[in-house]
Chain A
Amino acid sequence: MPDQVRTIIAWIAGVLGIIVIGSGLFIPNANLWRLHLLTGLWLISLPIRRVMKNQGDTSACTVRGLMLIAVLGFSAVGLHLVRNQVTQAEATRRAVASLTQPGTQQPTPVIAEPDPAERTSLGSGRTFPVAISPGVRGRILDRNGAVLAETVDGRRTYPNPALGNLIGFQSRLYGTTGLEARFDAQLSGVATLSPTAILEARLIGLPIEQTPADLILTLDSRLQAAAQQALGERAGAVVLIDVPTGAILAMVTYPRFDPNQLVLPDPASQADVERVQAAWAELSKRSDAPLLNRATQGRYPPGSVIKTLTAAAALDSGVLPDPSAAVTCPNLLPTEAGAPPVRNAVDNLFRRTGDPSDLVRVYAFSCNTAFAQIGLALGADRFLEYARRFGLQTTDTRTGSPDLRDIPAEIGTIANEAAFLQRPAALADTAFGQGQALVTPLDMAQLAASIANEGRLMRPYLVAEARTSDRIIYQAQPEIVRQVVAPETSQRMLAIMRTSVEIGYAQPIALPGVAVGAKTGTAETPRGVPHSWIIAVAPTEQPRYAIAVIVEYGGEGSRSALPAARQVLAAALEVTP
């Protein structure tokens, strides 16, 4: 046999040896493993011996042979250790555990599931004692890839100046806020660092290697622009939610601020610092609070919009067996001695609703006295229970965190204290939209969305994912917070809301070719001019969008909020109004 062929055979044997040992690692039988090890090492020694054979005199050759044996021997020990650890450790532990008496066996420790809020805490306010370069930072993009924030030449710029209340800003003078703060770890590239890398950087003091991630938001710039235009320069907020997932497609608040004016260029001159300081001073002292994100932090009386909650509670709890159940709509409804009776916004409303009426029609014409009666029939405890399910709490027992975790948000309240609702007059008032309730536009959008989503309240979210150049390091998963009402109730409520558009006060929101369900609200204010509210879902057969609009001091619901909501829904559904 020619020498070359022998060499090739030897090398093939070496490779075979590696395979034999590798497969042996996973054999539970110890003797079979030893056989694999022995055979494998012998096969591996063949090519090595071929290489060694051609060099040196005999005595050097034999000593080299001993070296090979030593190396193979210690390799055998090393491989055996690896096998003990990698494939056999678990089996050994189990076998030893089965030897001990069942009584003496240690109970398996229950590993507490980390608090979801804790788990998704992505480092806002977290400080690393290592030098993180602010010049290296990921971009923020909308769902279609439009840039909303990026770092150019070491300076953070925000191409869309209207999103300051959501995205926040990264300012060397005033810190980091909004999404920039919440996802600081991902944007700066610290989230992907291992603890050891951070420790290393701390010990050695070198700048760490940051791999910044881009944030991809759920916002749709087109719908955001439509909502912005619809609200115009009126104080208020618009929230548009994707019903199946809870993703926020548009969120507008007004008055707002341009984050670019708070960012210092690098290097900054004294004039730059003074300009930024002046801008900050002006923003923070303005009485119309432009730094407040009204969509999540503004707390407003809900007005008649809350009748949706009362109606859903009545249907779901069986207080009203079905939407056609008889309900009266008197002009006056006395509740308790000494308290003024409930009255409707307009007299003789029963001429429109019919007498006796039903739930569908009293909802469509927003009859206060009818919903006061429904509230009283529900009772304080049941009403409170349903309010809690929809995410509204009482101020004295407010616990937990807001459903939205990506940016600061407030938890809406149905009353200042639970005991308040025990008074019939208070319960009646709250049930149709007066009383102490204070809700955010996001709360109302979620109310509409959960009714549209077969009674499932989804967790709202703004950040879809964070992505480095090669992998996704954070991804939001649509999450059901809770089932608030039965799917059947949600179907009935959708029909009621659609009828409200077909025959009731919400009629002007109707869009050609699409069935829309809506409820307007007119929230009384101390100033006299009421806030204008609306919630709407569309299309009602297969709801995709849920919207809530409030226009501060906008008058009746149908006057200001309704046209704005209509405009946004038309844009979302791509129909011409």
Chain B
Amino acid sequence: MATITRLRARLGGRVRELELLITAFLFVAVSLGALIATASGRVRWVDLTIICAFAGLFLTISLALALRDWGEDQMVLPIAALLAGIGMIMARRLEPDLVQRYGEVYSGIALKQVIWIFGGAAVLTLASFVPWRLQWLKHYRYTWLILGLALVAITALFGVERNGARLWLSLGFFQLQPVELLKVLLVIYLATYLDSHRELIGRGIYWLGPLKLPPLPYLAPIVVMWGVTIGLIIVQKDLGAALLFFVIFLAMLYVVSGQARYAAVGLFAFALGAAALYPLFSHVRVRLNAWLDPWSDPFGIGFQMVRALHALANGGWAGTGIGAGDPTMVPESHTDFVFVAIGEELGLAGTFALTVCYAIFALKGYLIAMQARDGFQQLLAVGLTTAIAAQAFIIMAGATHLIPLTGITLPFVSYGGSSTLINFAMVGLLLRISAARKPPQTL
């Protein structure tokens, strides 16, 4: 009897997550229904199975979290599920159009994305249920750093080249994008390093003009770390990742030092670096010119952006309706430009809702950071949240012609295995950090 009462109390403690999850599933189910109604008009068993499995998987995770009763945050998981659901629907919607327009390469992406999402849910379960200690991340920091750098190096040497960038490592059945993994490893390494040198970095010893600099022995590894990373990424021609890593680094540095000036100087340095790269690298030049005036070369460098703006304009307030637009007119509509595809089919309402989702996710993530137990967990939470929020911002602003376009995925929504798996792993980590009642031996 007492057990039942306790179980009831535990389930009652996570009602909000359940409600939000059900809302997300309703949205996904309605979208799927609308898609079936406009596109094929035929309900396939595989669609029903997938959507039920999708709902069941996340409900099970939520239920398990409730029964364990560690008091994790209740909004992060539903937002991730909603975004992943939208991504699943978009992949399902775009696949036939992509196949028709660009060829057989794209056949099967809908099913693959479903597999990635389920895999992501598994990774999330691993991160939050397997009894491991967060301290391990701290203890093996150099392992993580070297592993990350090695991955990038291997990719640079043996990677598969696609679209002029060598970003993929072929593992036979699956092409890994090591940059995604590097993102998490970088966050973990920076969190451990910055936390253990918090005092020195905050205090400052040297003066460089108006800047207080921390002692060189402690500053050096940081400078080297991002220098090497960014250097490698420049070799790999992945501007989006470079920008993202840099933003993550600056955010974490800002939290540790409390000095906005570091961040400002850092951004300025990045802009200087980009300006220096401008005459050297054609792909940087192309991106910047396409941003400054896409209309000057609407069938060349500006093609993607002109198409994207046209798709958004066609979407209007409420969109053409899912399945009723022509989003594959924009190249890469399933990955980098999925936000534009959503803008065309769900309209301003859809893109606005998506933006709000990411904003809430960011706020929740930073709240988790504020309530974290120790400095390391706080920095980890800040890093993970910034990684997802900044990535969302960079690609949403890039795809809508607010900032120069740098190709990265829209977290959870874009098609892509590495990014989906890693994003769910990050959510798992965030959940673990947010657990207010976790037993001390798991710290």
Which residues of A come within 8 Å of B, CB atoms?
30-31, 34, 37, 58-67, 70-71, 73-78, 80-82, 84-85, 88-90, 92-93, 95-96, 99
Contact = CB atoms under 8 A, between A and B. Distances in A.
B419 interface: no
Query: Mostly helix, strand, loop or mixed at chain A's interface?
Result: helix
Contact of A81 (B260, B355, B367, B375): B355
B288 interface: no
A81 B386 CA distance: 22
Nearest to B361: A70
Contacts of A85: 312-313, 315-317, 347-348
A49 to B, nearest CB: 10
B310 A81 contact: no
A66 B251 contact: yes
A92 B359 contact: no
B362 interface: yes
Given A92-B310, A95-B295, A70 B352 contact: no
Interface stretch (B25-33, B94-102, B393-401): B393-401
Contacts of B366: 63-64, 66-67, 70
A92 B313 contact: yes
Nearest to B299: A99
B320 to A, nearest CB: 13
A80 B258 contact: no
B175 interface: no
A279 to B, nearest CB: 53
B254 A62 contact: yes
27 contacts: A34-B402, A58-B258, A62-B255, A63-B369, A63-B382, A65-B260, A66-B382, A67-B366, A70-B359, A70-B363, A70-B389, A71-B359, A73-B389, A73-B393, A74-B356, A77-B393, A78-B355, A81-B312, A81-B351, A81-B352, A84-B313, A85-B313, A88-B309, A89-B313, A93-B314, A96-B306, A96-B313
A59 B255 contact: yes
B258 A61 contact: yes
B358 interface: yes
B254 A65 contact: yes
Given A73-B393, A84-B313, A85-B317, A63 B255 contact: yes
> In terms of DSSP, what is the predominant structure of the interface of chain B?
helix
Contact of A74 (B260, B298, B358): B358
A91 to B, nearest CB: 8
B259 to A, nearest CB: 9
B310 A93 contact: yes
Contacts of B378: 59, 63
Contact of B400 (A60, A63, A74, A80): A80
A73 B306 CA distance: 23
Nearest to B260: A65
Contacts of A99: 298-299, 306
Nearest to B401: A30
B309 A77 contact: no
Contacts of A92: 309-310, 312-313
Interface residues of B, number: 44
8 closest pairs, A vs B, by CB? A70-B362, A74-B359, A89-B313, A92-B313, A96-B310, A67-B366, A80-B402, A85-B348
Contacts of B87: none
Contact of A77 (B251, B254, B315, B355): B355
A89 B316 contact: yes
Contacts of B347: 85
Interface in B94-133: none
A82 B386 CA distance: 25
Contacts of B351: 81
Interface string B385-428: 01001000100110011100000000000000000000000000
Contacts of A34: 402
A99 B303 CA distance: 11
B20 interface: no
Interface in B324-357: 343, 347-348, 351-352, 355-356
Contacts of B401: 30, 80, 84
B370 interface: yes
Contacts of A76: 397, 402
A63 B368 CA distance: 10
A62 B375 CA distance: 13
A34 B309 CA distance: 16
A64 B260 contact: no
B227 to A, nearest CB: 24
A431 to B, nearest CB: 61
Contacts of A64: 366, 370
Interface centre among B351, B378, B396, B402 (most CB of A within 10 A): B402
A34 B403 CA distance: 9
Contacts of A60: 370
Given A66-B366, A89-B313, A95-B295, A77 B382 contact: no
Contacts of B386: 66
Given A65-B254, A77-B397, A89-B316, A84 B309 contact: yes
Given A37-B402, A66-B366, A89-B313, 13 more contacts: A59-B375, A63-B369, A65-B254, A70-B363, A70-B366, A70-B393, A73-B389, A74-B393, A77-B396, A80-B400, A81-B312, A82-B352, A95-B295
B178 to A, nearest CB: 27
A74 B353 CA distance: 11
Contacts of A84: 309, 312-313, 400-401
Among B313, B351, B397, which residue has the most Cβ atoms of chain A within 10 A? B313
A88 B370 contact: no
Nearest to B347: A85
A499 B389 CA distance: 91
A388 to B, nearest CB: 47
A99 B299 CA distance: 9
Contacts of A66: 251, 254-255, 366, 382, 386
Nearest to A73: B393
Contact of A67 (B348, B355, B362, B375): B362
A71 B361 CA distance: 10
A395 to B, nearest CB: 50
Contacts of B317: 85
Contact of A78 (B258, B352, B370): B352
B316 to A, nearest CB: 7
Nearest to B295: A95
In this complex, which of B314, B358, B366, B386 has the most chain A Cβ atoms within 10 angstroms of its Cβ? Answer: B366
A327 B396 CA distance: 88
Contacts of B310: 92-93, 96
Nearest to A30: B401
B363 A71 contact: yes
Nearest to A69: B251
A81 B255 contact: no
B326 to A, nearest CB: 13
Contacts of B356: 74, 78
Nearest to B315: A85
Contacts of A73: 389, 393, 397
Contacts of B375: 59
A22 to B, nearest CB: 17
Q: Most chain-A Cβ atoms within 10 A of its Cβ — which of B255, B306, B347, B367? A: B255
Contacts of A65: 254, 260
B386 to A, nearest CB: 7
